[in-house]
Every structure is written in C-alpha cells, then in structure tokens.
Amino acid sequence: MSTEQSTGRGPPGVAVTRVRAVWRGAPPRVWAATAGWIILVLFASARDSAADQLGGNWPCAAVQMLASSGQGPAPVVTTVCLQPGGALLAAGGDDHRIYLWDVAAGRTARCLVGHQDWVHAVKFSADGRMLASAGHDGRVILWDPSIAEPTCVLDQNCHAVTELAWSQDGTRLATSGFSAQVRLYDIPTRKLVGELQGPCNDLRALSFSPDGQSLAVGGRNGKMRIWHLRGGQGPEEYAAHQGRIRALAFSPNGKLLASSGEDGKVHIWNFDSRSGRDLPRRPAKIFSLAFFGPHELAAGGSDNLIRLWDLSTGQEVGQLAGHQGSVMSLDSNGQILVSGSYDTVVRIWTIKDRVATAPRPTTELK
C-alpha cells in the first residue's frame, strides 16, 4: 500500500489532513494514519470477513474512527448521514466533532468543530448544500459542507437536542430532544417560527414525510404524534410501543411510517388503511431504521445486527453482521446502506438484490 497526504485549511485550530490510500494486492482489514483527527478507512475489494459470518453477500467497507487527540479511546458513532446526490458521508459521536469523507474515493475529507458535547444528530438537506448538526450541548448548527465552516448557529441555549429532520424543500428544520417540544426553524430567515407539543418529554425520534407536509415524533411513552402541517387539522396520536421510541422513518412514497423502540418491536403504520401492524419481535432494542427500497427496511439494534425486512410480506429476509456494538444510526440512498455503531466503526454496505439466508429466531417474542 502507498499513501498520499496533503494538508489544507480547516476549522479554526484544526489542521485538515487528507489521506488517499492506493492498494496493491489484497488489502489488510484496517489501515491507519497517525495525524490528529484522521479517520481510519478500509475499502475492501471483497466481502468483509466479519460480514461474511452472517447474511454475508453484501460487500462491506469498514471505517474505523480515531481518537481526535491521537490518544485515548476512539469516539463511538451515534449518527451517520449520506449527502443526497453527492459523495460525502457525515458521522458524529462522543468526541464532539463531525467527520466528513468521500465515499467514492475512499478518503477522509473534512472535520467540523463547533460542538462542545456529544453530537447526537447530523442531517443533510435534500439538495445536499447544507448540513445540520445537534448535540448534548443544546447547539443546533448549520454548515456549508464544501468549506467545513458553520454558516449559522440556530440555537445554543436549548436543552440537549437528539434528533433533526429537514423538510423536502429545505425551508424548514425540525429539532427534538430532552423536552416535550418540537422546534421548527425557518431556514431562509434562520428564525425559530414555532413549537409543537409532543406526546411526552424526551423525544428521541423525528421524521418529515417525503412531501414535507407531515411531521412525526416519538419518545419516552411509546406514543407517536403526527402533525399535518397544511390543512389546519389537528395532530394524530398512536400508542405504537410499550417503551421509548428510538427511530421513525417514512417510506419513499410516504404511505408507510415505520417506528422502532426499546421494546424490541418495529411497528408499521399504513396511512391508506389507517391501521398499524407489528413486525415479528426480536430480542434487541431497535435504535435505528432506514428504508433502502420502496418496501425494504433496515433496522439496527442492541444485538449488533442490522436486520433486513420486506414489508410487502412482513418477513425478515436477511441480517448484516460485523458490528461489535449497538447499531445506533442507519442511512441509505438506495445504492448503499451506512451504519454507525458504539463499536467506533462506520460500515458502508453495497446493496444487493438478495441477502443470504441467515439464522433467525424460531419463535416470535411476545
């Protein structure tokens, strides 16, 4: 292997070093650079051996985080997001920083410094031109990902913020966290324009519908509340879980809303039939959800697995293994699925039509 390294301008006080690896022959599992905050990146030319252990016909690349100071433990990964129509992947965790790298080139890109505590959420706008981040410090920051500079601090005196959601047109950003309110910001004016009352305190899950007209939130009491922002009708509320809701995801056509939580269930609400159903329960808390097709849903949990579901049949069709910690965040653009974990690794899975048969529970948990 050979590497090429260059240093450029980054956020104040940070030297941005870009490393490009050129593989000759079979690559080792992980390669490392020693400069500052650099992320260790592996883009494997074949299937990752850990992923092969279970459900293993999706090729996988592993991204191992490094300690930002060069010493101490690597940061856990609590949030990942792909840039729509672009090549960047953003990740954040407990070292207060946000890392960007070029997925196609397989190299680190930039480091964003602005939070003073755990980064809980990063989300790109639909056009990919803005990145929003939020954390335990109560700050909500907008970034220009092309220059790694903050463009605006929307809020810095808030409660801890754990989730973000953009409207499709990029004019609204919603935030939720350790309170009962969902805050709505108008992005053109950079102003807080409203607060919506959630179903409980501690709202961990938030999602806009694809058309931007509905906003769903869920939290500690297992209820999800859905506001229809146009038309003047009141919010709908459903008791979907027996524990804290940790993730919400609308299907690409907006007709389904998936929720998951600490009760181990994935619940699917159908807006056409006005009814909900539970997928077969599994022995893990489900922390993350992402649609990777019209009826295909990925769910990551405390058992370190990503379970793949076909919602047209309600069947689990495969599992992706390799993480050694809870899978806290998922995102997909239809070609790849990315996952972030407490094991300090981001995995990038190339989506295939078929997932190999994997061992599954013989009985459903009640």
Q: Provide the strand spans (E) within 302-361.
A: 306-310, 315-320, 327-332, 336-341, 345-350
> What average pLDDT does range 187-213 have in this prediction?
94
Judged against a pLDDT cut of 90, whether residue 366 lies above it is answered with no
The structure's pTM equals 0.84
More confidently predicted of 233 and 160: 160
Q: What whole-number distance in Å separates Cα of residue 288 and Cα of residue 341? A: 10
User: How confident is the prediction for the chain on average, in pLDDT?
Assistant: 82
**pLDDT number for residue 48:** 40
Of 246, 256, 365, 266, nearest to 308 by C-alpha is 266
> What average pLDDT does range 93-120 have in this prediction?
89
Q: What whole-number distance in Å separates Cα of residue 360 and Cα of residue 58? A: 18
**pLDDT number for residue 355:** 62
Side by side, the strands of the sheet bearing 172-177 are 161-166, 172-177, 181-186, 191-197
**Chain-centre distance of CA 264, in angstroms?**
19
pLDDT band at 36; cut points 50, 70, 90: very low
CB 127 within 8 A of CB 85: yes
Q: What whole-number distance in Å separates Cα of residue 2 and Cα of residue 96? A: 31
> What average pLDDT does range 291-320 have in this prediction?
95
Judged against a pLDDT cut of 90, whether residue 277 lies above it is answered with yes
**pLDDT number for residue 310:** 95
> What average pLDDT does range 130-154 have in this prediction?
93
Query: First and final CA of the chain: distance in angstroms?
Result: 51
Place of tokens 């998936």: 258
